[in-house]
Amino acid sequence: MKIVCDTNVLVSGMLFRGHPRRIVTLAAQARLTNITSPALLREVEAVLARPKFGLRPGQVDQILALFRDTFELVHPAGRLDVIAADPADNRVLEAALAASADIIVFGDRHLLALKEWRGIRMLSPAAFVSLV
C-alpha cells in the first residue's frame, strides 16, 4: 500500500504519540510504503525547526534522515493548483499523483474536504490506522 502523509501527520508522528506515530512506525518497519517528495521534506524541515518544538538542528537532521531512509522519494512532474485555500496542500497531491498512491493521510481540513481525488482516498490518521 502506498500512502502520502501530510506534514502535520509526519511532525506529529515524530514528536507525539498516537495514530500518526503508529503510521510513521509502520513506514519505518517497511510494512507500508510512505511516499514523500523534496518539497514535502523541505516543509517538514521548516516546521520541525520552529522554536516551539525545541529541537536542535542535529535532531531535525536525524528525523529527515529517517524519512529519507524509510520513505520512497518521488519527483512530481508538475505543480498542481487544486487547493487554493492552502497551496502547500497541493504538494501532497503532487507527490500522491507522482507515486500513484492509494491513500493520503492528512491532518488538514482542506484535504478532508476532497474525500477522494483522482482515485486516491483521503483518510485521517485514526481512520487509516483502523484500516490497517
Evaluate if pTM is beyond 0.85.
yes
Per-residue pLDDT of the chain (132 residues; tens, 9 = 90+): 999 999 999 999 999 999 999 999 998 888 999 999 999 999 999 999 999 999 999 999 999 999 999 999 999 999 998 888 888 889 999 999 999 999 999 987 766 677 888 999 999 999 999 998
Q: Measure Cα distances from 19 to 13, 23, 72, 73, 79 in Å.
A: 7, 6, 21, 23, 30
Q: Measure Cα distances from 69 to 28, 90, 111, 123 in Å.
A: 8, 24, 26, 24
CA 112 to CA 68: how far, in whole Å?
26
- Strands 2-5 vs 120-123: parallel, antiparallel or unpaired: unpaired
Q: What is the model's pLDDT at position 108?
A: 75
Q: Three-state secondary structure along 75-120?
A: CCCCCCCCCCCCCCHHHHHHHHHHHCCCEEECCCHHHHHHCEECCE
The cell for 125 is: 490518521
CA 111 to CA 128: how far, in whole Å?
14
| 36 DSSP assignment | E
Q: For the chain, list the domains and their CATH numbers.
A: 2-127 (3.40.50.1010)
The cell for 56 is: 536542535
